Structure 1
Amino acid sequence: MALAIFDLDNTLLAGDSDHAWGEFLVAKGIVDSDEFKAKNDEFYRQYQQGGLDIDAYLRFALSPLSKYSRRELDAMHATFMAEYITPLRLPKAEALLQRHRDAGDFLMIITATNSFVTAPIADALGVETLLASEGEIIDNRYTGRPSGTPCFKSGKVSRLQAWLAETGRSLEGSYFYSDSHNDLPLLEAVDHAVAVDPDDTLNAAAVAAGWPVISLR
């Protein structure tokens, strides 16, 4: 049983769930619209250019969660799923997931986006195992601070290696699908790297390495 690992944003989805969550908060008046939107857009630009300060971003993204109970947050997320995530779902991506299921592979999503945003998305996609950046929780409430190793760049490799050690699994025969050059450390660690609708930097790296380049759009 090989591992079939998938990035989420702009890979299995036709957009970025983290940025979309920020857009949702702005649209619903949950955060200060102008300031939050400007910061959300700037962090996304930094991510695309490869210069994101992941700790600063996570503190920004997690801060609004600290103001609400889990029940309130779950209700918000249900609306977010219906209005923002459902339109981003890709039939070709879900067909790819199914092909790996049918082959008997073990499916996993690994994403820099925090697990509050992404766990319901992974569940909707039928992927039970998720490695994501985590927010600190005390007394069942988010504190607004990150927790543990961010699941970003080399941190994705570290988090995956820890999971492999815990589960006794290996990367033999493994696949990883991603759109982003930020994921080059993990793409280089698996047996079968696949670039999905890649950014220009990843596309060039994939061509140089002889990795398949596919589109799920």
Structure 2
Amino acid sequence: MSLAIFDLDNTLIAGDSDHAWGEFLVEQGAVDAKIYREANERYFQLYQSGELDIHEYLAFSLKPLAENSPEQLAAWHQQFMAAKIEPIILPRAEELLARHRARGDTLLIITATNRFITAPIAERLGVDELIAIEPEVIDGRYTGRVSGVPSFQAGKVTRLEEWLSERDHTLDGSTFYSDSINDLPLLERVDTAIAVDPDEQLRAAAQERNWRIISLRDQ
């Protein structure tokens, strides 16, 4: 049984769920609109260029989880799924997942977006296995801090190795699909690397390494 690994944002969905959550919070009036939107955009651009300081970003992005009750967050997430995520789920991505599922592959999403945002998205896509950034929870509430190694850049490799060792799995026959230059460390570790609607830096890297480049968007 082979492992089929998928990045989430701009790979299986036509957008960035972390950035979209920030926009959603602004629309809900849950954060200071001007300050939060400007910071959200700045961090998003740093992510796209491969220059994001993940710990600085997490101090920003996890703060609203700590400032609101689990009940309020759950209600917001339901609205977020309907308004922001459902419209950007890619039918061709669902077909790709279905093909791997039919082959008997183990499906795994690995993402640099936190589990609060992404667990319901993975469930919606029918993917049981998820490696995501883990927000710390104490006494049922988010603290605003991160637990463990963030699954970002080389941290995705670290977290995947932990996951593999816990399940006695290997990367033999593994495939990883991603759009982002941030995922180069993991793309270089798997047996088959596939660039999906890649950013310019990843496209160049994929062409240099003769990796397959595909699109899951409507042409």
Mapped to 1, the partners of 2:47 and 2:18 lie a distance apart of: 11
* Superimposed CA distance per residue, residues 29-76 of structure 1 (whole angstroms, 9 cap, x where no aligned partner): 110000000000000000001100000111111000111221211110
**Partner letter of residue 130 of structure 1?**
L
Mapped to 2, the partners of 1:60 and 1:95 lie a distance apart of: 35
Shift of 1:146: 1.2
| Structure 1 runs of 4+ with >6 Å offset | none
Identity across aligned pairs (percent)? 60
Mapping 1:50-199, distance limit 5 Å = 50-199=50-199
Mapped to 1, the partners of 2:120 and 2:69 lie a distance apart of: 17
Shift of 1:184: 0.3
Partner secondary structure for residue 193 of structure 1 = strand
Partner secondary structure for residue 14 of structure 1 = coil
Mapped to 1, the partners of 2:101 and 2:52 lie a distance apart of: 34
Shift of 1:25: 0.2
Shift of 1:210: 0.9
TM-score (norm 2): 0.98
Partner secondary structure for residue 78 of structure 2 = helix
Partner secondary structure for residue 62 of structure 2 = helix
Structure 2 residue aligned with 1:15: 15
Shift of 1:92: 0.2
Mapped to 2, the partners of 1:146 and 1:59 lie a distance apart of: 8
- Counting matched residue pairs gives 217
Structure 2 residue aligned with 1:213: 213
Show structure 1 runs of 5+ residues with no match: none
Mapped to 2, the partners of 1:93 and 1:53 lie a distance apart of: 29
Mapped to 1, the partners of 2:216 and 2:41 lie a distance apart of: 25
* Superimposed CA distance per residue, residues 169-200 of structure 1 (whole angstroms, 9 cap, x where no aligned partner): 00000000000000000000000100000001
Mapped to 2, the partners of 1:67 and 1:155 lie a distance apart of: 27
* RMSD between aligned residues: 0.5
